[in-house]
Structure 1
Amino acid sequence: MSGGEPEGERLQKVLAAAGVASRRVVEQYIVAGRIRVNGRVADELGTRIHPETDRVEVDGVPIQLDTAKRYLMLNKPKGVVSTMSDENGRPDLSRYAEQAGERVYNVGRLDAETTGLLVLTNDGELAHVLAHPSFGVEKTYLATVRGVVKPDALRRLRQGVELDDGPIAADRARVVGEPSGGRTIVEVTLHSGRNRIVRRMLAEVGHPVIELVRRQFGPLHLGSLGAGRMRDLTKVEVGSLLALARDAAEPDAKNARRKP
């Protein structure tokens, strides 16, 4: 193919289109060796890539080159079911998909009475990896429960309890603040995505849940996002999800890259 057009697109053009920075700034990144393409440093200004297949990282953070992909964080309110259409007419997620202006879907579920962090996206591949139980994305909840939670109850949560659908253990469990009014706030972190799992675990150790909110999903933190509010994820947040999905889906490839 000598004499034809060079294959691919200029790296700085693609990254500028992806919203990383201006072409001039991206060129500075290239010269500084801050960009990797398919795991190799790309420090030549003439570098060309194929956006559909090549993987690009800036400072170790994967970049989504497909500008049609959307990633949103929703603070799901109480009473909203985690589906885009509810046959019983309950409030669902369709209103938030309409706000997004895209055909987005929820990654995993929160039960109707649980509030907090829910990811909406039109990236089906990423959604599958993040929601699939076998990949075990870490989730952190704050639960307001009845009673004063003692160290023994926390120990049971961490060591594991037996439920109707099998044993389950929290990765971490701790009391947040001082118990008040016969209630305690407990922070529980676990990988499981089983239905109503946090509520069932706490009930099993004698502390039924009064209120439950998911504060963290993988590398994402709910922060100060208000109930019913939604925002686009930042470039760094998207990159952290892409990295998580990549490493979860390709453990063999990851291990192979580490070998000399």
Structure 2
Amino acid sequence: MAEQRIQKVLADQGICSRREAERLIAAGKVKVNGRPVGLGDKMDPDYDKVSIDGKNVRIVRKRQYTYIMLHKPRGYLTTRSDDRGRKTVMDLVADVPAMLRPVGRLDKDSEGLLLMTDDGAFINLLTHPSGGVGKLYRVTVNPRATEEQVVQMASGVVLDDGVRTQPCVIHVVTDEPGRTVLEITLHEGRNRQIRRMCSAVGLQVVRLKRSAEGPVKLGMLQPGEYRELKKSEVSALRNAAQKNTRSAPVREENAPRRPGPLPRKKD
């Protein structure tokens, strides 16, 4: 096997994220063949030996990866561990014999489809900003959303950190006094993005559920349950991410943004 950057090897093996690997390398905690390494250094996974904090890391060749879909319930953190002892999604997949990591995040108060795997390359592909695999959310807000507020969010709004969101597609599912149910499709994944988008236009999220990611749908999977992804689903997700990465346009930071369409969903 050809030499690869050390952080890529560690991420592909599911040992840690690429960012965490870079932090460990910069802190001098990673050695290859007994010698400290720096950022940008490479290794051959077939021959070189790597250690972190003096502990040897087992490199698995041609490993079989595990890919699952979890219906995350509300009240669970999307993290591998919590120093305050709160419930995490790992509690729901404790019987899976693999070192799973979440693919992206759903905040504690949100629910729905969450992909998990031990394939670091797959995680990097789907979470990379240029991947842009669409995620579908069903969102209940109050008070009732006006057309102007929905158009604002679909066109892109400035969040509380000064960053402007990308245009997105929004369908109005239910529109009644006191509340509106929306279906929102995002191609980016900022922290608590939908809640912050709604807050920016004066709306409060009452319920948020992710029902699909790319071509993969949550279906009838019940809260707290999980299932393995089919090979065709894994391939479809990978192809969707790679396609979007190749076709992602290069845009200037201050280029004007076009509003997304605003069709109303038929019952």
**TM-score normalised per structure 2:** 0.65
Q: 3-state SS of the aligned residue for 1:73?
A: strand
Pick from 50, 67, 70 the counterpart of residue 71 of structure 1: 67
Correspondence 1:107-146 to 2 at 5 A: 107-146=103-142
Compared CA separation, residues 173 and 185, structure 1 to 2 (3 A): same
Q: 3-state SS of the aligned residue for 1:82?
A: coil
Q: Which residue of 2 aligns with 1:223?
A: 219
Q: Which residue of 2 aligns with 1:187?
A: 183
Assess if the C-alpha contact under 8 Å between 2:71 and 2:223 holds in 1: yes
* AA of the residue aligned to 1:168: T
Q: Which residue of 1 aligns with 2:242?
A: 246
Q: CA RMSD in A?
A: 1.9
Whole-angstrom distance in 2 between the partners of 1:246 and 1:162: 28
Whole-angstrom distance in 2 between the partners of 1:129 and 1:239: 12
Whole-angstrom distance in 2 between the partners of 1:190 and 1:168: 10
Q: Which residue of 2 aligns with 1:10?
A: none
Is 1:175 equivalent to 2:172 in the alignment? yes
Q: 3-state SS of the aligned residue for 2:158?
A: strand
Measure how far apart 1:148 and its partner are: 1.6
Measure how far apart 1:118 and its partner are: 0.5
Pick from 152, 157, 162 the counterpart of residue 161 of structure 1: 157
Between Structure 1 and Structure 2, which shows a larger proportion of helix residues?
1
Deviation digits for residues 95-120 of structure 1, max 9, x if unmatched? 23322221111101111111011001
Q: 3-state SS of the aligned residue for 2:95?
A: helix
Is 1:149 equivalent to 2:142 in the alignment? no
Assess if the C-alpha contact under 8 Å between 1:139 and 1:190 holds in 2: yes
Q: Gapped runs of 5+ residues in structure 2?
A: 1-61, 249-267
Compared CA separation, residues 100 and 206, structure 1 to 2 (3 A): same
**TM-score normalised per structure 1:** 0.67
* AA of the residue aligned to 1:228: G
Correspondence 1:82-97 to 2 at 5 A: 82-97=78-93
Q: Which residue of 2 aligns with 1:5?
A: none
Is 1:103 equivalent to 2:102 in the alignment? no
Compared CA separation, residues 211 and 103, structure 1 to 2 (3 A): same
Q: Which residue of 2 aligns with 1:205?
A: 201
Correspondence 1:5-44 to 2 at 5 A: none
Q: Gapped runs of 5+ residues in structure 1?
A: 1-65, 253-260
Larger radius of gyration: 1
Q: How many pairs align? A: 186
Q: Which residue of 2 aligns with 1:6?
A: none
Fraction of identical pairs, as percent: 38
Pick from 54, 76, 97 the counterpart of residue 80 of structure 1: 76
Q: Which residue of 1 aligns with 2:24?
A: none
Measure how far apart 1:176 and its partner are: 0.6
Q: 3-state SS of the aligned residue for 1:136?
A: coil
Compared CA separation, residues 223 and 67, structure 1 to 2 (3 A): farther
* AA of the residue aligned to 2:183: E
